[in-house]
Amino acid sequence: MRRYACSFDWDRVLITSDPEYYKWNQWLFLEFYNKGLAYRKNSNVNWCPSCQTVLANEQVVQGLCERCDTAVTKKALTQWYFKVTDYADRLLDDLDTLEGAWPAKVLTMQRNWIGRSYGAEVKFEIEGRKNPIEVYTTRPDTLFGATFMVVAADSDLAAELASEAAPEVRIKFQDFLEETKKTNDIDRLATDRPKRGIDLGRFAINPVNGEKLPIWAADYVLADYGTGAIMAVPAHDQRDLDFARQNNLPVQVVVDTGEDDPSVSGVATTGDGVMVNSGELNGLKKIEAIAKITEILAAKGLGKKAKNFRLRDWLISRQRYWGTPIPIVHCETCGEVPVPASELPIKLPDAKGLDLSPKGTSPLGGASDWVNVTCPKCGQAAKRDTDTMDTFVDSSWYFLRFLSPNSDTEAFPKEEAKKWAPVDQYVGGVTHAILHLLYARFFTKVLHDLGHVEFEEPFTRLLNQGMVLMNGSAMSKSRGNLVRLSEQLDEHGVDAVRLTMAFAGPPEDDIDWADVSPAASAKFLARAWRCAKDVTSQPGVDFATGDNDLRRATHLFLKEFPEQIESFKFNVGVAKIMELVNALRKAIDGSAGGSDPAVREAAETVAKALSLFAPYTAEDMWQLLGHKPAVALAGFAEPIASLLVRDSLTAVVQVDGKLRDKFEVSSSISEAELEALAMASVNVQNALAGKQIKNVIVRAPKLVNIATA
């Protein structure tokens, strides 16, 4: 990065694996724990058989581990979570404040991931069970169309219901459960695969009509959505309909949409319509019916309005050595005991002698001297928690650590955060839209609520940068299409490579290195450098006495170039530099010559602009022009308004909507003068021959429009 001429403060380097960094991860964990936002529970979690560790939902991509592309399965484990769902509403609503400042795609991805929906929680009595089951639905108006109930096969509820079923059902259920655990969530939710399930031999009672609904355990319902149970309305839900048709379950239409009967067509009707076969809801439309049935259920104590989220709490436990040790000890007497902040950091044990290979349990468990400790609360024997934190914890707040990277007394100073944060401009890939970016937003809101920062969003503006491809594919050793930066620097020089990257296209777009030319960039830089070399006037010369056309080009550049850079249109900015260099070269080789003050003004402007992309060439040009270092500190001149107004413009003349002539005119020409010039044009006269003029519209200094009868 030094060789690439990146400008960093090398005194503010962070190494997240350093105990002096992850000490503050542990401190933050304790802050979250004390606020009730860090907790431990047993549940079915995402498990990567290859990495031999759990994964957060956000780290499962299309059913595969984001690190190794292995199919993810489910495993019952006791793990640590951050209660991100407590912030679901704020995480969603505050996205509105980022409109126009963050890419629309990222905002949409986060909105969809958080996935807020409104509906009702409905209580279903279960035969032979003391307590009712609560089912969340966004369509309580279709309750009369429920013909069976489905519980997630891997839910505690399914296990409970199966345990009290007939022996043959229990056996079938266990076999089915094992098969379900081998299927990832993406496949389970896919609409184009057969839905599998078994009849548990149990019945729920529909609260609106008293009908008995058979309860099935199935794989197309997930345990962590709502309560893990759904009321199945096959006439108006395609997955329910597919399942009903496979298992000969009844289909009851309760919304008349004018479409074919789903039991015949095999296509569920999901549109709006009028309620039918629904008792006192008959004749109502969707919104009215939802409101009425929710009111009826609430009055009877059988339901209530509800809100649900797709977002789940963040599972942070990992069965790896590399990570932040969780600052909790487990005591048989006291239970979970947080380690006092004064004892942080809890350092990782020496890896020497530890078996760090993936084996399904944390390798830290093998460090007995490290694991076995004294309980901070009662003084009896206790054991450290052997899981480590998800490394996304490291990146959820690192931007604040840059404020005081070497402090051993605080994670970051509040006053410095007040002065410098939040981050004005953040650059990051869209691949982390629902990972790092969501986690950082969550952390920032918690830190705000704890009084550590005064803002609630970490990154004011966001740019998603594209990738550099080679021959249409992402670079990789396996594809054999790697382009080594060091080799490019050796061959073309750092300035040419940097300029090529900037000129290749908008930074948010992917670029293909096969389509760009560092050699051409090097050639252009040499041309710009020669322009500076050919300037013969002295520094401090009065630019106002220089060539007017070149000065106009320079000041138009001074107006447009900063706008392009501020809006991250670097490629357009480089194109503007090239245009100015062309004008500069033309002036040097023409009547103006190298001694013209306007030539110096343009050359100095080019050097300043190039300092952003080609710092070495720019500095050399600056010194050739007689200045002391550094060009990067020189600053741009303000464009002179009078030089932005052109003395002449191109006027066009149309006859009956067709272009007939164009010519240069003074920018101050009057409408009468412009009309006279137009009528005197031979081309216009030929176009008007034999025709009667009906109307003439003049818009000086640019347009004359003539209409004939």
Q: How crowded is residue 13: how many other Cβ atoms within 10 Å of its Cβ?
A: 11
Whether domain 467-645 has CATH 2.30.40.10: the reply is: no
Task: Please give the distance of CA 421 from its chain centroid, rounded to a whole number.
Answer: 20
What pLDDT is recorded for position 202? 96
* pLDDT exceeds cutoff 80 at 186: no
Tell me the pLDDT of the chain averaged across its residues. 94
Instruction: With a cut of 80, say whether residue 659 has pLDDT above it.
Output: yes
Task: Look up residue 116 and give its two tokens.
Answer: 């807020």
Which DSSP string do the residues of 187-206 spell out, in sequence order?
Answer: HHH-TTS---EEEEEEEEE-
Mean per-residue pLDDT, 148-168:
94
Which band of pLDDT confidence, cut at 50, 70 and 90, is reported for residue 647? confident
Closest CA to 328 of 298, 373, 287: 373
User: Is a pLDDT exceeding 90 seen at residue 474?
Assistant: no
Query: Does a cis peptide bond (omega within 30 degrees of 0) precede residue 250?
Result: no
Of the pLDDT bands very low, low, confident and very high (cuts 50, 70, 90), residue 53 is: confident
The CATH code of the domain at 116-309 is 3.90.740.10
- Position of tokens 């994670």? 411
Q: What is the percent of the chain with per-residue pLDDT over 90, rounded to a whole number? A: 81
Segment 417-461, tens digit of pLDDT: 999 999 999 999 888 898 999 999 999 999 999 999 999 999 999
Terminal alpha carbon distance of the chain? 71
Q: What is the mean pLDDT of residues 249-267?
A: 95
The one-character DSSP state at 67 is: T
- Whether the pLDDT of residue 254 is over 90: the answer is yes
The pLDDT of residue 69? 87
- pLDDT tier at 191, thresholds 50, 70, 90: confident
CA distance 67 to 20: 27
SS (H, E, C) 548-559: HHHHHHHHHHHH
DSSP bridge pairs for 295: none
pLDDT of residue 61: 82
pLDDT at 192 (0 to 100): 80
Lowest-confidence region among 224-233, 241-250, 267-276, 606-615: 224-233
Average confidence (pLDDT) over 507-522: 94
> CA-to-CA distance for 223 and 232, rounded, in angstroms?
15
Backbone angles phi, psi at 300, to 5 degrees: -95, 0
- Mean pLDDT throughout 660-665? 92
Q: What predicted TM-score, i.e. pTM, was given to this entire model?
A: 0.84
Mean predicted confidence (pLDDT) in 405-410? 94
| DSSP H or E segment with residue 33 | helix 19-34
Query: With 90 as the cut, is the pLDDT of residue 21 above it?
Result: yes
* Lookup result for tokens 């096959």: 234
> HEC states along 270-308?
CCCCEECCCHHHCCCEHHHHHHHHHHHHHHCCCEEEEEE
Q: How confident is the model at residue 656 (pLDDT cuts 50, 70, 90)?
A: very high
The whole-number average pLDDT for the span 677-704 is 95
> What is the SS3 string spanning 606-639?
HHHHHCCCCHHHHHHHHHHCCCCCCHHHCCCCCC
pLDDT of 648 higher than 80: no
pLDDT value at 194 more than 90: no
Q: Where are the domains of the chain?
A: 19-98+315-394, 116-309, 467-645, 648-708
Beta strands in 477-567 (DSSP E): 511-512
Q: Token pair 């709006």 is at which residue?
A: 272
Can you give the pLDDT at residue 94?
98
Predicted confidence (pLDDT) per residue in 295-323, tens digit:
999 999 999 999 999 999 999 999 999 89
Integer Cα distance of 570 and 504 in angstroms: 9
Nearest by Cα to 525 from 494, 556, 554, 555: 494
Residue 190: what pLDDT?
79
Q: How far apart are CA 147 and CA 220, in angstroms?
A: 17
Helix (H, G, I), strand (E, B) or coil at 625: coil
- Residue range 206-215: mean pLDDT, rounded: 97
The helix or strand, by DSSP H or E, that contains position 399, with its residue range, turns out to be helix 398-401
Residue 364: partners with Cβ closer than 8 Å, 6 or more residues away: 321, 325, 348, 349, 354, 370, 371, 384, 386, 387, 388
Q: What pLDDT score does 630 carry?
A: 92
- Tell me whether the CATH fold assigned to 116-309 matches the one assigned to 648-708: no
Query: What pLDDT was estimated at residue 95?
Result: 98
In the numeric block, which tokens belong to residue 95? Answer: 């996205």
Of 356 and 447, which is predicted with more confidence? 447
b (16+ CB within 10 A) / e for 600-611: bbbbbbbbbbbb
Beta strands in 410-522 (DSSP E): 423-427, 459-463, 468-470, 473-474, 511-512
User: What confidence tier does 67 reach under pLDDT thresholds 50, 70, 90?
Assistant: confident
DSSP secondary structure letter of residue 262: H
pLDDT digits (tens, 9 = 90+) for 128-142: 999 999 999 999 999
Q: Which of 255, 249, 229 is nearest to 143 (CA)?
A: 255
Q: State the alpha helices, DSSP H only, in 135-224.
A: 156-163, 167-181, 185-189
User: Mean pLDDT, to the nearest integer, of 85-108?
Assistant: 97
252 is written with which tokens? 């009851």
Alpha carbon distance 303, 294 (integer Å):
7
- Which residue, among 665, 666, 661, has the nearest Cα to 685 in the 3D structure? 661
Residue 478 in this model has a pLDDT that exceeds 80 = no
Q: Which CATH number fits domain 648-708: 1.10.10.10, 3.30.70.1350, 3.40.50.2300, 3.10.20.590?
A: 3.10.20.590
Summarize pLDDT for 217-250 with one digit per residue, the tens: 999 998 877 788 999 999 999 999 999 999 999 9
Strand boundaries in 332-431, DSSP class E: 335-338, 372-374, 381-384, 388-389, 423-427
Judge contact between 196 and 176, C-beta under 8 A: yes
> Topology of 19-98+315-394 in CATH?
Rossmann fold (3.40.50)
Examine the pLDDT at 58 and tell me if it is beyond 80.
no
* SS3 at position 431: helix
- The one-character DSSP state at 102 is B
